Structure 1
Amino acid sequence: MFKRLAIFVHSLYGGGAERAMLNLARGFSQQGIQVDLVLLRVEGNYLSQLPPEVKIVDLGGGRLWQCFPALVRYLQQEKPSVMLSTLDDTNIAALWARRLVGSKTRLVVNVQNTISQDAKNAKQLKTRFMPQLVRWFFPWADAVVPVSYGVAEDLMQIGVSKECIQIVPNPVVTPNVFQKAQEEVDHPWFSPNQPPVILGVGRLNRQKDFHTLIRAFALLRRQRPARLVILGEDEGEEAALRTLIQELNLTEDVDLPGFVSNPYAYMAKSAVFVLSSLFEGLPSVLIEAMAVGTPVIATNCQSGPLEILDNGKYGKLVDVGDASGLATAILETLKAPLDSDVLRQRGNEFSLERSLAQYSQVLEGADCGITI
C-alpha cells in the first residue's frame, strides 16, 4: 500500500468533482494513509468538512499558471508516493509538473466529464482546445480514470489509448449522506400537507439546463399542483432563470435558494428529483437522490444517467432539451413512483467503500478490473 497520497484540485467549492476528492481524502486518511490535499486556492464550501488528519497544501491562491511553480516545488520537495489529479486543466498541469521535475511519483488523472461535449459548449478557448491537449499529454499519465463508461468512450474517441483507461465511479454514497438526509429542511414548502416538491440540484450554468426543467414544470402545473426547488450556486444563469420564471408566471411556485450545505435533506423530502443536464460524466446528485429513496428522472445525456438508471430500470430517461417529455415523466412518476428500497439498493452500489477499494488498486498500479 502506498504511504502518501497527494490529491490535486482547484479548490473545495461545491461541485461533484470536489465532493468526490473530499470523500477520497477522508476515506484514505481513515485507512492510515498520509493525504495531502493540494489546492490552487484554499477556499470553498467543503473546507469545513475536511478532517484534521488531511494536510492542506496551499499553492498560493492565484490562477493555474501562477501556481504552477509552487506545484513543481511541491513535487520536488515532498515526493508523494502517488498523486491523483482531477479536472482537465489541473490534470494537464500535473502531467507537465511531473515531467519537468522528473519525479517518480505515480500520477493518476481523473476525468469527471465528457471532454468533447464540454469543449463544444465552452466559451473559454482553453476548454474548446482541451480535446487536443488531452490527446497530446494524457499518454504521460500512469493511468487515466474516467468516472463512467460514457466518459471512457469519449476519451477513446478523442484519442486516449484504451490500455491506460480504468473506470472507477466516484465515491458518492457515504454514511454522512444518510445522516444528513434525516435532518429537517428549513423551508415552508416541505411542511406537511403541502403540494409535492420537484427538486433539481446543480450549479446554475448552461450545462445543467434548468431552463428546460422550468419549462417542464410550467407544463406540469397546468395538470396538477406542485412546486419546484432548484439548489445550487450561480455560475452565470441565475438572472436568466429568474426572468424565465417570471415570464411563465411561476414566481409563487419556483424557488432558487442558492447553495445549501445539506442538499440530502431536501432530496429525502422531495417527491421527485430531476436531472435536466445537457451533458455529464457521472452525476453524483442523481445517485444521492436514489440512495435516500427518492424517485428520479434524468435526461439521457452523455454520459452517466443511462448507466446509473440501467437503461431506465431505476428511473425514466428523457431526451435532452425535451420539456414536454420531462413534464410527462414527472407526472407519471408522481402517480406511480418506484419502490424506495429498490432505489436505495441501487444508489448504494456507488458507495465510498467500493470506490476506495478500486482506487487503491489503480493508485498502487494494479488493474482494478473495470477496464473498457
Structure 2
Amino acid sequence: MKYILVIDHIATGGAERILIDYYHYLKNKGHQPHIFVLSGYAGQSKWTEDIDYITYGSKGDEDNLIKKGIQQLSLYFKLKKLIHEVKPDVIFSFLEKSNLLTIIAPSKAIKIVSVHNVLSIQYTKLKNPQVKKIVYNIIKWMYNKCPNVIAVSKQVKDDLIATFGVQTDNIHIINNYVDRENIRIKAQETIENFTFLPERKYIMNIGRFSDQKAQWKLLKAFALYLKNTNGNVGLVLMGHGEYTTDLQELAKKLQIEKYTTFLPFNVNPYKYMRHAHLFVLSSIYEGFPIVLAEVSSLRIPFLGTQKAIPEEMFDQKKIWEQCIFKSSTLEKDFSTTIHQDEQDLAELIKKGVEDENFRQKILESTAQWEKQNTKRIQFECYDSIAK
C-alpha cells in the first residue's frame, strides 16, 4: 500500500517521533510511505537522515496574516500535487494544521487524522472571542467530517466530545507506546557530558522549554522541597526552547543552581533517564506524553499535573489521583513567587522521592499498562483503521 504521512514540522516532539517510527514500520512491512512536512527543510532534523521519501511544503511559518493565508493555500496545492503523483491508499496526518489540510485535500484515499493534545487547553491562548469561536467551529467541522480520528488518550477524546461536539463514533483511542526493549538497551550506553552522583536522588524532566511544558513550576516546587532536605537531591532538566535562558535565570534567583542541571536535547535520553529516582511532568496539558511511556519502560515512578498524566496508565483511579496535582496558574511566571499549585507539587515531589511505599504503588498500578507498552500494538491498531 502507498501512504502519505503529513505533519506540521519535524523537531523533537512526540507526534514527530511517532511519524518517524511509523514510517519505518510501514517500510519494513513492505509498504511505500512518503512524508509531507508543512514547514521545514532537508537536514533540519537528525530524525530524517534515513528517510528516503520526504517533501517539504515551505521553509518556515509566516507571521504576517496575509502571508500566512497565502502560505496555507500554497501548502494545499503542494499536498494536492503530491497526492496526484503518489496516488496513496492512505493519508495519515498528525497535528491540527496537517489534519485540516488532509481532510480538505481531494482524494479517494482512506484518511486518518490524529489529535495529540487537549485542544480546549491548548487554545486558551486565543483571547479574541470571535477568533476562538471560528477556530472551535473549524475543529468541530473537520473532526466530524473525518470518520477516522485517533485520540491519543481518553481525556483527549472526552475533550473533543464535550468541548467541540465531535461524534463519539468518529474517535478511536490509541495510546502512544514505545519500543521498550530498544529503550532498555540504549539506556545502558555511557554518558559523557554529565556525572550522576551516587549519593544524590535525581528528579528529572525532559521536554521543550516552552509555555506548555511549564518547567518554571517544577523549579519553584523543587526549590521549596530542597529547603526541607539534607541536600542529597538533584534536578535535571533536558531539552531546549525559547525559555532556556529564563529557566536558567530563575534557578539562580531561587538559589538552586548548584542542585539543578540543564542538559541539551539528546537523541538517546534513556541513558540519562535510567538514573532518575523520580520523573516529574509539569506540563499544563498533554495528550499522551511519549516520555511517560519511556519512563514506564524503565520502571521509574512518575507524577505530574492532572492534564498531563493519563489516567488509563493506572489500574486504580485512586492511585492516579495521588500522583497528580491541579495546575492553577496557566500563565508563565519567572518570578520567585511560589503559587499554591507549586506548593502542592513540592509536597508531591517529597512523597515521590521519600515514600517508598508510595513509589511502589505507582509501579504496581502501572504494571498492567506496561505489559502492553510496545510500539507494535500501537501501529497494528493504526493498520486496523487503514484497512
Do they superpose with TM above 0.5? Answer: yes
Q: In structure 2, what is the Cα distance between the partners aligned to 1:264 and 1:49?
A: 20
User: 4+ residue runs of structure 1 moved beyond 4 angstroms?
Assistant: 43-46, 49-52, 122-129, 339-345
SS at match of 1:39: strand
Alpha-carbon RMSD = 2.6
Distance 1:152 1:189, change over 3 A: same
Q: Which residue of 2 aligns with 1:328?
A: 347
Q: In structure 2, what is the Cα distance between the partners aligned to 1:340 and 1:316?
A: 8
SS at match of 2:222: helix
Distance 1:175 1:34, change over 3 A: farther
User: Which is further off, 123-132 or 16-25?
Assistant: 123-132
1:248 aligns with 2:254: yes
SS at match of 2:155: helix
Pairs within 5 Å for 1:89-104:
89-98=97-106, 103-104=107-108
Which residue identity does 1:7 align to in structure 2?
A: L
SS at match of 2:105: helix
- TM-score in terms of structure 1 length: 0.87
Q: Deviations over 1:305-344 (max 9, x none)?
A: 3222443537722222522222222222222132897456
Q: In structure 2, what is the Cα distance between the partners aligned to 1:43 and 1:347?
A: 36
Distance 1:362 1:187, change over 3 A: same
Q: In structure 2, what is the Cα distance between the partners aligned to 1:122 and 1:183?
A: 44
SS at match of 1:199: strand
Q: Which residue of 2 aligns with 1:107?
A: 111
TM-superposed deviation, 1:300: 1.2
Which residue identity does 1:121 align to in structure 2?
A: K
Q: Which residue of 2 aligns with 1:261?
A: 267
Q: In structure 1, what is the Cα distance between the partners aligned to 2:257 and 2:102?
A: 46
Q: Which residue of 1 aligns with 2:67?
A: none
Q: Which ranges in structure 2 are unaligned for 5 or more consecutive residues?
A: 62-70, 329-340
TM-superposed deviation, 1:347: 3.1
1:86 aligns with 2:105: no
Q: Which residue of 2 aligns with 1:358?
A: 381
Distance 1:55 1:88, change over 3 A: same
Contact kept, 8 Å, 2:152 with 2:288, in 1: the verdict is yes
Q: Which residue of 1 aligns with 2:372?
A: 349
Q: Deviations over 1:52-77 (max 9, x none)?
A: 5x522333434451432211101122
Q: In structure 1, what is the Cα distance between the partners aligned to 2:104 and 2:291?
A: 32
Contact kept, 8 Å, 1:204 with 1:232, in 2: the verdict is yes
Contact kept, 8 Å, 1:200 with 1:230, in 2: the verdict is yes
Q: Which ranges in structure 1 are unaligned for 5 or more consecutive residues?
A: 365-372
Which residue identity does 1:200 align to in structure 2?
A: N
Q: Deviations over 1:24-77 (max 9, x none)?
A: 11222211111112222245775446645x522333434451432211101122
- TM-score in terms of structure 2 length: 0.83
Q: In structure 1, what is the Cα distance between the partners aligned to 2:368 and 2:275?
A: 18
Distance 1:79 1:170, change over 3 A: same
SS at match of 2:384: helix
Q: In structure 2, what is the Cα distance between the partners aligned to 1:354 and 1:96?
A: 29
